[in-house]
Structure 1
């Protein structure tokens, strides 16, 4: 396993509202290794975006970090430095980390770009400020970046304003800006949501190509399991502010252990399925204004045990890379398997893609 670049431990975040404190993140642990892509998946409101925005220290006025650490291992002055990002001031984050060493691509490229500034100016700005490049050096590097992200006639595009570009081109420009200072970590918060499906595929391939060339570490936030299958090395499944299962992409897709993960996979549309009815997970996520007792997924879990309503499950080890927080993995629990429908779907996928996909994942 390669070097750990980012390590989140016991992260807890609350929001102050007129109805009380919402415990949005309830003890998240996550590791990101060099050159690796981690995808965080889950329903809307599960805490995916809040978790990664905490890495960048993008906090709203009513948001409070209760506990935890976010340790970033990066290179500074030729040496590897370990820093808890939660202990840095906002000014230190802006000057030393954000954009320079950790960059973030948001959902809507139009809101990420300044409509009053040319594309060239926006790409060059970070290099001039963080890397102390001259305008001519920054200009040449900006042309290289536009070419890297697949934009033709870069000299012409440098003079354009955001509204003169299509949605796909704007997202490519955002990626170019994020790569301008050679960051070690790229966070993609549903970067293809606002784009049509043909452009989505191109953006995903673009990010994969850039990662292969630069060995950058990537965190994907998405609710689209199809995207996860295309880009991820490792997957973390979030529910109600906690990671309930984590493992390699093969383990999560072909050998899931948590009932919530079963539900997510079962609810994916399948063109070749004989069943016309699309599966939905029963019930709704818990109201995090209230204290969660036991397993937060228990009220929606048809396989819930009595202990699920009383005590929160720990992370049970399935393999060296696969863990799941469900009492069904306890030695004394009854044997419960995923539904026949999901099992048949997984078997069908394995048969189509070949048995090599079931081999243990090897990190870069």
Structure 2
């Protein structure tokens, strides 16, 4: 496999609060290859958004990057270069990387749009600054982008202000702005959460279509596993500031190995479930103000071993694409299987769609 376009290694981030330092990110490793989609999933507070905002160097005043590297490989002046984004100055990030080579779509489009500028001017601005296009060239390209993201009558919409558009149209405009400078990486931080279900599906299909046409690499941040099944090639499951399982979308959905992943999949609604209650993972995430001893998930894990409370598990290899940080994968661990209700559900899906490793079983593949 070729070198990743983006490679995060040992990323550690803390926040200074009135009660002390919160160790929000505790050694994250992540790779993104050209043209692929990686989804980062987990409960609220697991560190998903903090991780990707570090890529963009969107840091709050009380935030400290303790360690790590974020290697970005891209073409500059006709040659391939690799730079550690954490070592670039804010000026270099804004002039060379943000918007131009790495773009980000946020959850609420109104936080990304200027209410005092027309849609057209906001799309054109980045092209005129970063790509040095003339106003006429930028206008022509802006019309093409509005058509690409599925907005009808683009010439009329170029003159509109954000408040004159629906939520779905505003998110499409944001995507058009993010694509204006032909970035190599697109980060989507829960881009459909604020939209209704029908618009969500259209936005997800839109991003997939754009990826096929442009070959752009995409990182999705979401807690919605249904979204993951639709868009992802690879999945990273985060818990308490660490990635606890990573693999292909088929690995995670059909052969999950970490008890936390079992819990996430078991909590997904199922229209055929007869129970009146949805499954929920017992307990609460740990308070990261305090040093985590052993496996952070151990207090909530009904399958926890004694060692889980004493020593943090390494990433065990399940296959060439699949890794999980759980002592249950150690050769001396007792044999523990996923909950039978989850196994039955996954077996049922496999019967309906066929062998996921031999066919395009999931809609996203």
With normalisation by structure 2, the TM-score equals 0.98
Q: Does 1:193 align with 2:197?
A: no
Question: Contact conserved, 1:350 with 1:357, CA < 8 A, in 2?
Answer: no
Give, in whole Å, the separation in 1 of the partners of 2:307 and 2:66. Answer: 27
2:249 aligned residue: 249
Kindly provide the CA deviation profile for residues 159-194 of structure 1, in whole angstroms up to 9, marking residues without a partner as x: 000000000000000000000000000000000000
1:330 aligned residue: 330
Question: How do 1:1-364 and structure 2 match up within 5 A?
Answer: 1-357=1-357
Give, in whole Å, the separation in 2 of the partners of 1:165 and 1:27. Answer: 41
Structure 1 residues not aligned, in runs of 5+: none
1:3, distance to aligned residue in structure 2 (A): 3.8
| C-alpha spacing 1:115/1:202, structure 2 compared with 1 (3 Å) | same
Give, in whole Å, the separation in 2 of the partners of 1:351 and 1:275. Answer: 22
1:274, distance to aligned residue in structure 2 (A): 2.9
Question: Contact conserved, 1:42 with 1:222, CA < 8 A, in 2?
Answer: yes
For the residue of structure 1 that corresponds to 2:294, the secondary structure is coil
Give, in whole Å, the separation in 2 of the partners of 1:182 and 1:21. Answer: 38
1:273, distance to aligned residue in structure 2 (A): 1.9
Q: How many residue pairs end up in the alignment?
A: 362
| C-alpha spacing 1:169/1:357, structure 2 compared with 1 (3 Å) | farther
1:58, distance to aligned residue in structure 2 (A): 0.0
1:78, distance to aligned residue in structure 2 (A): 1.3
Question: Contact conserved, 1:188 with 1:220, CA < 8 A, in 2?
Answer: yes
Give, in whole Å, the separation in 2 of the partners of 1:360 and 1:198. Answer: 24
Give, in whole Å, the separation in 1 of the partners of 2:193 and 2:30. Answer: 24
Question: Contact conserved, 1:250 with 1:358, CA < 8 A, in 2?
Answer: no
Question: Contact conserved, 2:109 with 2:174, CA < 8 A, in 1?
Answer: yes
1:360, distance to aligned residue in structure 2 (A): 10
Give, in whole Å, the separation in 2 of the partners of 1:190 and 1:357. Answer: 28
1:359, distance to aligned residue in structure 2 (A): 6.3
1:2, distance to aligned residue in structure 2 (A): 4.0
Give, in whole Å, the separation in 1 of the partners of 2:334 and 2:346. Answer: 23
Kindly provide the CA deviation profile for residues 246-299 of structure 1, in whole angstroms up to 9, marking residues without a partner as x: 000000000000000000000000001233321100000000000000000000
Give, in whole Å, the separation in 1 of the partners of 2:311 and 2:256. Answer: 22
Kindly provide the CA deviation profile for residues 302-356 of structure 1, in whole angstroms up to 9, marking residues without a partner as x: 0000000000000000000100000000000000000010000101111111214
Kindly provide the CA deviation profile for residues 38-93 of structure 1, in whole angstroms up to 9, marking residues without a partner as x: 00000000000000000000000000000000000011111111000000011110
| C-alpha spacing 1:36/1:117, structure 2 compared with 1 (3 Å) | same
Structure 2 residues not aligned, in runs of 5+: none
Give, in whole Å, the separation in 2 of the partners of 1:349 and 1:192. Answer: 25
For the residue of structure 2 that corresponds to 1:355, the secondary structure is coil
For the residue of structure 1 that corresponds to 2:5, the secondary structure is strand
Give, in whole Å, the separation in 2 of the partners of 1:57 and 1:22. Answer: 19
For the residue of structure 2 that corresponds to 1:328, the secondary structure is helix
Question: Contact conserved, 1:266 with 1:279, CA < 8 A, in 2?
Answer: yes
Give, in whole Å, the separation in 2 of the partners of 1:276 and 1:92. Answer: 54
Give, in whole Å, the separation in 1 of the partners of 2:360 and 2:14. Answer: 37
Question: Contact conserved, 2:250 with 2:356, CA < 8 A, in 1?
Answer: no
For the residue of structure 1 that corresponds to 2:157, the secondary structure is helix
